[in-house]
Every structure is written in structure tokens, then in C-alpha cells.
A and B are shown apart, each in its own frame.
Chain A
Amino acid sequence: MSSIVSKENLSESVVRMDILAPEIARKRKAGQFVILKVNEQGERIPLTIVESDGEQGTITIIFQIVGKTTALMAALNAGDDIQDVQGPLGNPTEIENFGHVVCIGGGVGVGVIYPITKALKEAGNRVTSIIGARTKSLIILEEEMSAASNELIVATDDGSYGVHGFVSNVLQKLIDGGEKIDHVYAIGPVPMMKAIANLTRPYGIKTIVSLNAIMVDATGMCGACRVSVAGKTEFTCVDGPEFDGHQVDFDLLANRLRMYCEQEGQSYERHRCGSQGN
């Protein structure tokens, strides 16, 4: 059992939570994640550890309400419990002083890029960050990202805030403007990561992506999260979650992420009817 210490709605569909998990809080490094299981009937879902507070013994997670489990979690409040929290899992981000790095986060992926951005800046990199979302109300962690970066550019698809356009358009402009970029980190929806990887490939800019494959045990036991990287099968949970974006088969990832669309819809529908029924 892990109790929720605090909860905040970052946007209409994105929630931030601090959870009491002292051992994980002490041990975790940027780029790692936890598996959560809300209750006895719950499924196991991976979520990146956004921040941790070793003294308070808390870890921070950020999630978007996309289905039953996240809806169920969003309905919990400070003082409530999450049945199982397992972690830290996955390999930490390799943090070095690369020079000039660009950290790109899309949608709720900003929560995942944030700890990496912070660690890269602390390691002495000059950090330019680009965060984006469909519309202004979905932009999260703007202040935190600004503090963790030397420069922050915000973009919205609909132009309601910041630059009008995709994060990839912003990156293209940086490159076109003659910026020397040593490393790119891109985390967000699959189409975004694919677009960024395609963009940087011809320039030979090393591009790291963090993959959000479906997982069950997350310790290398089941292979649900397998992805193809440079033609080789890798497990996101133990070999990743970060991979060389130029080598990832994003189409395969997108297909595998759709494997349970129907059941996920059914489960969410049943949950919503149940919770609205009385």
C-alpha cells in the first residue's frame, strides 16, 4: 500500500500526484518509471517518475485520463491508497555534458521529459526545451520546464498559446537557424517522436526517445513491451525505456499500442456507466 500525499489537476485531463514510496524515492534516477496497480482488480500500468523527494519519501507521477485505470486514479485524493507501487524500473537516462541539448515534450510526455531536462541541465548542458500540446489548456509544467532549461519554447497545435504549430516545426526552425545541436530528447505521442526522429536523422543529430509500450510485469518476464530497434527485438521495460530514435520501428510500436483498443474502450465505458449510474 502506498498513500497519496497530494494531488493536483494540471489540466482538464492531466493529474499530478505525490505518492509515499520512500525506498523508491531514494533510489530512483531520471528516466526511470514505476508500475502501479490501483486495487485488487486493477491492471498494472507503467508511469514515469517525474520527481522524487528523498526527505518526504515521495515520488511524483503525472498521468492523463485515457481509460478506466487512469480515470479511477484521478478519482482518488490525498489520503487514499494505491495498492501496489513497484519500482524504480527501467534504465536511468545516460546523463552527460553533451553540450547543447534540445528536450522536446509533447502532451503528457512533458512530465516524462521534465526529470531528464533537469538532470541534463544539472550536468552542465545548455538546454533548449520545446513543449507542446493540442491547445493552451493542455500545456503542463511550463514553469518547471522553464526553470530546468536555459530557454523554453511553447507550441500549440491550434495556436492558442506560444508558437502556432507542432514541436517538430519549432525544432526545424532551430536547425534552420543554424543552431548547433548535439543531442535531442523527444518524448510524447508516437507520431510526434517519429516526426522528430525523421527530422533529425538527415542531420545526424543523436535523438533519444522514451517509449510507452504496453507492459505487464515490467521486469523482463513477459515481452508485452517488445519493440524493434535496429531490426532487433528489445524489451522496453529492461532494455529501455529510452532508445535511439533513429533505429526504432515506430509503426510497429503504434500497432502494438492499439492491441487492446476495443477492450480498453469497453472497460472505460463500463466504468463510466457504473460511476454515473447512481
Chain B
Amino acid sequence: MAEIATKPKKEKIPRQAMPEQDPGDRVKNFDEVPCGYPPETAILEAKRCIQCKKPGCVEGCPVDVRIPEFILQIAAGNFLGAARTLKETNCLPAVCGRVCPQEDQCEKTCILGKKGEPVAIGRLERFAADYERDRGAVTIPAVAAPNGKKVAVIGAGPSGLTIAGDLVKLGYDVTVFEALHKAGGVLIYGIPEFRLPKAIVEAEVDYLKQLGVKVVTNAVVGRLKTIDDLFAEGFDAVYVAVGAGAPVFMDIPGENMSGIYSANEYLTRSNLMKAYRFPEYDTPIVRGKNVAVIGGGNVAMDSVRTALRLGAENAYIIYRRSEVEMPARKEEVHHAKEEGVQFLLLTNPVEYLGDKDGWVTGVKCIRMELGEPDASGRRSPVPVPGSEFVIDVDTVVVAVGTMANPIVPSTTPGLETNRKGYIITKGESGETSRRGVYAGGDIVTGSATVILAMGAGRKAAQAIHQALSGVTTE
């Protein structure tokens, strides 16, 4: 680069890029897109960290990972040490290194970001966790002696797994009840293989099992047993982390036609049920040629990139605002564009058209323009009268958000929820209106991120520990 050096100074190491699969190749497979740092690149990147005395990165992390410490270990080539440092505060580092929005958290508050590019903390986290797992070097830390207290966790997603790990280490007898046949929650059913390989999630769950966490699958709390049943069985506390699993539809004409999916269904078929490997796996999925995904969040990006990998010739994102307002991570939008996704922005579906068998053939859209900022601070989209047009599609995925699933709240007398059905908690402890019942993650906040759900699990673990053992941890 033609930078004019006024005086000689120490050569700066640039932020290290992570190698990734070529877009042309990767749309034909479900393998992970980024390939991870090789050790020498990780060391180089780690050396960029200036080891701040008051590290901003740690303040930006919802689970307080000791970031400078693990980075220093990587810089010194002590990769396994780095992994262990990570795991002291984060039981899912291989997951977080991949799916955390670091640009809004640790990397946002990295001092290097003020003048240049922040340290690639997420990539380093991923590197250390992968290094340990790939070498079979995962060790099981000593846990406290059993304290005779039992805690039930409902939901084996990021929040439930985090609290389970924290409490089992403190000596609790922890049982996680999962409704589906596999643990992991959104990490298993929602996030695609090309962004988070399922073998990694399975390894993280196995790690927790080795720590002593019991995982009971196929257990729909609210149907098989209620929270009151759990107390009757001898549990001393219950943590509700059932997520915001119910899909939102737009309630426009034709939305129930064949070929129209919720993102939850589309992704669950592909990820949890491995429909992308049909007929080797038995669950089918429609391999549409012209696929429209409605929405502009990460789930929409996951859906549209899945559609491409399932063979779509045209894969559209239809989003009612402009790219600036898109809630998806920039990296996801970038990857989607590289892969050939067509973005129809300032566009909103108003109706679906279908054939005589009730299969969707088109989506009628209307152009939008941005008006005044709304409650979210984003400029609200307003339809442009008379601007309707039709896009030919054979498959649609509706990815406009999720809402609370009522199964647990509706079967737990005295558990207070808000107008939208989310559980009301007292501050960060996760305490609910029911004594001994705690809640956290998306069922409290509405759909958010993996790491925020984990942070809620961490804080509830501390609150439960204090309530049951009278001990404050920090």
C-alpha cells in the first residue's frame, strides 16, 4: 500500500484474515465456510494484543472471558492453556468463537479498534477451542464434591447448557430436560452446519455430560411433567431456558400454501433432521429452484444460504427496510452476497399466489420507502401505493422473528409473564414470581443472541448457588 512513512516505526501486524472456502465451491456443500487460523497465524494475531491493564474487551463480554490472558497464552504458543482459560468462564468457546457478534461486544471495545482494526478475539477463541478438541486434549476439570442439592434445567440450548456447566462444577446434581431428541437447542436445530458444525455442539454437550450433567431428551416439560412435578420429584430449583421458539407469520393471504415454511421449520428440517442429506436421512425438504426468504436477520441469512446449498437457482432476501437497518451481522450479509443471494430491499410481501394444488407460485410484493424513526430507532418502512409486483417463486421461508412458546408458562401456575408471553424476572438473577423458579435467555428477553442467553445462565447460576447454598460467587 502506498502509505507515506514520515518516520521509521515498528512495523504493525495487520489483523489476520481467516481462510475460507471459495464462494463458488461452498454453495455446493454444507461444510463450514471459514476454515480457522493455522497456529502461526493465530500467534501472529495474538501478538497484536497490547495487554491493556484495564481491558475493554472483557467489559464487552457477557460472560467475562479473561480475554487478554488467553490471548497471551496463544501468543506464547500455549494453545491448550488458552483453551483452559477460556473454559473457566465459557463452557462453549468453540461455539462462541463462531457465532458471537464480536463486532458488537469484545471487539467493539478493543482499544486497537479506535485507530485501526480490533484484535480478532472471536477467531482466536475459536482457534484455541478447536485446537484442544481436534487433538483430543480436552480435560475434565475437577468439580466440587456433591452438595446434595438438585437443580432442573428446562431446555438444552446455550442458556441451559451454561447454567448446567456452572452448577455441576459447584457440586450440584443437575438434570437438563430437552424437548427434542437432541441437546443443543438453536445450536443444533437453528444454526446451519456451514456456520456451526454439529460435531462441535455434540462435543460441547459431551463435555458437560463428562462433568456430570444429566441430559434427558424427548422430555417436554409442560406435557410429560410440569414444574410442580419437578419440585415434587425433589428438585430444589428449576431454571427455565426454553427459548423463544414459536414462529411468527405475517398473516397475509396465501401464507399457508404448500412450499411456504417458517424459518424454524426449514432450518430444523435441514439442520436437526439433516434433510439436506435426504434420502440418506428420511426427513424431506423442498429443494426449491426460486426461493424467497422474508426477513433481514441472521436467521434469514441462514435460511437463504441453506436454500442455495439445496440447489436454488435464484435465492432472494426480501426485506422491508434498507441494508443499513438489517439486523443480520455484516459478515453474514457479506457471505450471502458472495454466494449469489439477490437482495430485494425496501420490499415487503403482501400476498402469496398459488396453483390449483395450493402450491406457492409467486409472491406479490410492494415497494417501501423509509419514513420517520420508529420505537426501535430505525426508520420505519412505509408502502409506496401502487408499486406492487410479483416475483416467481416455488418456495418461501418466512424469517420475520419468533415469539414465546407458551407450553411451560401456561402449565406453571403463578409464573408471571408479560403481554408477549415472556417470563418476567427480577433483575439479572433470573428469579421469577415463583419461588425456586428462575428463567433466562430468549424466554425472558425475546429472541437475542447465543452469548446473551449464556450470560443469563451464568448469572442465574450465581443466584441459585446463593439461594441454595448461601454462597456468593464472583
Within 8 A of A (CB), among B368-405: 405
Provide the residues of chain A in CB contact with B283, threshold 8 Å.
43-44, 216
- In the bound complex, do residue A219 and residue B358 qualify as a contact, i.e. CB atoms below 8 Å apart? no
Chain B CB within 8 A of A147 CB? no
Chain B 239-276, CB-CB to A under 8 Å as 1, else 0, gives 00000011101010001111101101100110001100
Cβ distance A236 to chain B, nearest Cβ, rounded Å: 12
Tell me if B273 and A267 are in contact (CB < 8 A). Answer: no
Cβ of B353 to closest chain A Cβ, rounded Å: 14
Residues in chain A near residue B269, CB distance under 8 A? 216
With known contacts A233-B256, A255-B357, A263-B279, A223–B220 Cβ distance under 8 A = no
A263 in contact with B278 given A221-B268, A255-B358 (CB within 8 Å): yes
**Which segment, of A55-63, A85-93, A154-162, A183-191, faces chain B?**
A85-93
Residues of A at under 8 Å CB distance from B?
23-24, 27, 37, 41-44, 68-69, 83-89, 216-217, 219-224, 226-228, 233, 238, 251-252, 255-256, 258-260, 263-264, 266-267, 270
The answer on a CB contact under 8 Å between B181 and A220 is no
Residues of A within 8 A of B262 (CB): 222-223
Which single residue of chain B is at the shortest CB-CB distance from A221? B245
- The reply to whether A216 and B284 contact each other, CB–CB distance below 8 Å, is no
Specify which of A42, A238, A251, A264 is in contact with B358 (CB 8 Å cutoff).
Answer: A251
Q: Are A23 and B225 closer than 8 Å at their CB atoms?
A: yes
Q: Are A238 and B407 in contact (CB under 8 A)?
A: yes
Report Cα–Cα, A260/B279, bound state, in Å.
12
Q: Can you show 11 pairs from A to B with CB atoms below 8 A apart?
A: A27-B224, A41-B281, A83-B181, A86-B220, A88-B224, A227-B256, A251-B358, A255-B357, A255-B358, A256-B258, A263-B279
- Please give, as numbers and ranges, the residues of chain B lying within 8 Å of A27 by CB-CB distance: 223-225
> Ordered nearest first, which 6 A-B pairs have the shortest CB separation?
A255-B358, A263-B284, A222-B265, A86-B218, A43-B282, A84-B181
Q: How far is the CB of B376 from chain A (nearest CB, A)?
A: 25
The tally of CB-CB contacts under 8 A between chains A and B is: 119
- The answer for the CA separation of A61 and B279 in the assembled complex, in Å, is 26
Q: Closest residue to A227 on the B side, CB-wise?
A: B256
Contacts of A87 in B (CB 8 A): 220, 223-224
Can you name the residue of chain B whose Cβ is closest to the Cβ of A42?
B282
How far, in whole Å, are A89 and B221 apart by their CA atoms in the complex? Answer: 11
Closest B residue to A2 by beta carbon equals B218
B181 contact set on A, CB distance < 8 A: 37, 44, 83-84, 86
B280 and A223 contact, CB distance less than 8 A: no
Query: Quick one: closest A residue to B218, CB to CB?
Result: A86
> A43 contacts B258, CB within 8 Å?
no
User: In the complex the two chains form, is A219's CB within 8 Å of B179's CB?
Assistant: yes
Query: What 20 additional pairs, Cβ within 8 angstroms, besides A86-B179, A224-B261?
Result: A37-B181, A41-B280, A43-B283, A43-B284, A84-B217, A86-B218, A88-B223, A216-B283, A219-B245, A220-B246, A221-B189, A222-B265, A251-B358, A252-B256, A252-B358, A256-B358, A259-B286, A260-B286, A264-B284, A267-B279
| Size category of the binding interface on chain B | 35 or more
* Cα separation A264 to B285 with both chains bound (whole Å): 11
Residues of A within 8 A of B259 (CB): 259
Contact between A43 and B357, CB atoms less than 8 A apart? no
Q: Does B170 contact A (CB under 8 A)?
A: no
* Complex CA–CA separation, A187 to B220 (angstroms): 26
Residue on B nearest A23 in the bound complex, by CB? B224
- In the assembled complex, the CB of B405 is this many whole angstroms from the nearest CB of chain A, namely 5
Are the CB atoms of B282 and A216 closer together than 8 Å? Answer: no
Check: B180 CB closer than 8 A to any chain A CB: yes
Q: Chain A contacts of B273 at CB under 8 A?
A: 43-44, 216
A258 to B354, CA, bound (A): 15
A226 to B249, CA, bound (A): 11
A119 to chain B, nearest CB (A): 18
Are A259 and B258 neighbours in the complex by a CB distance under 8 Å?
yes
Contact of A258 among B180, B281, B357 (CB under 8 A): B357
Contact B405 A260 (CB under 8 A): no
Point out which of A44, A89, A217 has the most chain B C-beta atoms below 10 A from its C-beta.
A217
CB distance from A264 to the nearest CB of B (A): 7
- Known contacts A23-B224, A87-B220, A220-B246; A233 and B281 CB within 8 A of each other: no
Min Cβ gap B459→A in Å is 26
